[in-house]
Amino acid sequence: MSGPVDDVLEIARLAAMSLLDYERARKEAAEQLGISRLSILDMLVAQARGAAGKPPTGQGRLLTFPEIEPWPTAVRGAEVLNELCAIFGRFVVMPETGRTATALWVMHTYLPGASLCTPRLVIRSAQKRSGKTTLLTLLAGLVQRPLSTASLSAAALYRAVEWAQPCLLIDEADAFVDDNNKQELRALLNAGFQRGGQVLRVVGEDHEPRQFACWCPVAMALIGRLSDTLEDRSVRIVLQRRRRDEDVERLRLDRLGALEPLSRQMQRWADDNHAALAAADPVVPDELNDRAADCWRPLLAIADCCGDDWSKAARAAAETLSADESDLDTVAVRLLRDIKDIFDTTLPVGDALFSQELVDALLEHEEHGWAEMGRAGKPLSKVTLARLLGRFGIRPGTRRRQTDRAKGYGREQFTDAFERYL
């Protein structure tokens, strides 16, 4: 765009654009209009859209989002992800795989145009007071364009997404998302998983058909489970109520501003790596089914761009959180119970079993189906055993017994899991 600009016509032109086109044009347009702060341009365009009947105005408040100024120098993605994990660990009791997945998902919100799918982040627990709201509050201070809500209608969803493309943070999702009367809302949340997801609605007195986008990142916190269709499109983080010996800091709402530098660093990293991530085709673990692979592909692309350590951590998290196992929760707890029985009946305190010894002992529990637990109905293997135990943060290590040396498990590794689940 060159030459003198008619301010009113230019604002009207920007207001008529789709959200994606506006995002691409806003910086250059702001320069031409002599506007130094992009947030001011966003407000002017929002007002113009309101006057044109796009979002309703009058009651309530216009949706506004903080303008994130990118960090002035290049940023190392691995360092940002490490800091995100450390922040989650300071305030919420959550497994390492959960911190890994959540950190990658937060970075993903800064790259809405770089992937074909945007996985829903589902934060759930069995009971209240397990840290779900605390984690959502942290996300509100970290993600790009956060929009927090504890209630949502289908109409509000598609209008808000079409107008502002926010990152939706939904608390108490179990109270309304899975209500029998909310089938349309669930359908929209499902459709917004894939880029280009949209709905058709008629508007105005002439019932003009219009398209509304529903593609945007979404995080939902709840007790229990969501419907299968939403669960299938999600990366699921399970939180537990903290034990008395687990210390976390209390989150001070008046200090969330301290997260701003991290948001600026993520914006800079996303700007610098957007093209590479849009072209990425990461290798997905075989343990993931097709839908789970879609969920993890954008997160694995980010991890691969941040180095080998994060590539390995991301794939371990994917296998642990989203492995394609039927009724995995029940299977995993049954496995713990059998292992405890093996330790209690065959080993003195402090001893360990090699992985193959533990597999052989489990296969003797014929009534629990370990002889058909592996792939294609084959017996339980050391690899499948390690994958199941990985859900509890238990991994094989080198064990020695006299002159023998092999990978195995010690009784002490299971203490925490036994206390939590049995």
Distance in angstroms (rounded) separating the CA atoms of residues 190 and 237 = 18
Please give the pLDDT value at position 55: 46
Please give the pLDDT value at position 265: 98
Contacts of 243 (CB under 8 A, 6+ apart): 419
pLDDT at residue 177 tops 80: no
Which of these ranges, 63-72, 177-186, 289-298, 378-387, has the smallest mean pLDDT?
Answer: 177-186
Distance in angstroms (rounded) separating the CA atoms of residues 419 and 409 = 17
Please give the pLDDT value at position 56: 44
pLDDT at residue 54 tops 90: no
Please give the pLDDT value at position 3: 41
Which residue's entry shows tokens 């003797």? 364
Q: 29 or 104: whose pLDDT is higher? A: 104
Which of these ranges, 18-27, 249-258, 353-362, has the smallest mean pLDDT?
Answer: 18-27
Return the amino acid letter for 94.
Answer: M
Distance in angstroms (rounded) separating the CA atoms of residues 80 and 238 = 23
Distance in angstroms (rounded) separating the CA atoms of residues 68 and 217 = 17
Return the amino acid letter for 60.
Answer: G
The sheet with strand 397-401 has its strands ordered as 352-354, 404-410, 397-401
- Other CB atoms within 10 Å distance of the CB of residue 313: 23
Please give the pLDDT value at position 181: 59
pLDDT at residue 102 tops 60: yes
Residues β-bridged to residue 198:
213
The answer to whether the predicted template modeling score (pTM) of the entire model surpasses 0.85 is no
> Which phi and psi (to 5°) does residue 236 adopt?
-105, 125
Contacts 24+ apart (CB under 8 A), 18-22: 18/213, 19/162, 19/163, 19/164, 19/165, 19/213, 20/113, 20/165
First CA to last CA across the chain, in angstroms? 67
CA atoms in the 13 A half-sphere facing the CB of 152: 27
314-331: per-residue pLDDT in tens? 999 998 888 754 444 467
Which of these ranges, 101-105, 152-156, 262-266, 350-354, has the smallest mean pLDDT?
Answer: 350-354
What percent of the chain clears pLDDT 90, i.e. is strictly above it? 36
DSSP assignment of 209-234, as one string? EEEEE----EEEEEES---HHHHHTE
Which of these ranges, 2-16, 204-218, 392-406, has the smallest mean pLDDT?
Answer: 2-16
pLDDT band at 53 (very low <50, low <70, confident <90, very high): very low
Q: 266 or 370: whose pLDDT is higher? A: 266
Which residue's entry shows tokens 């107008």? 163
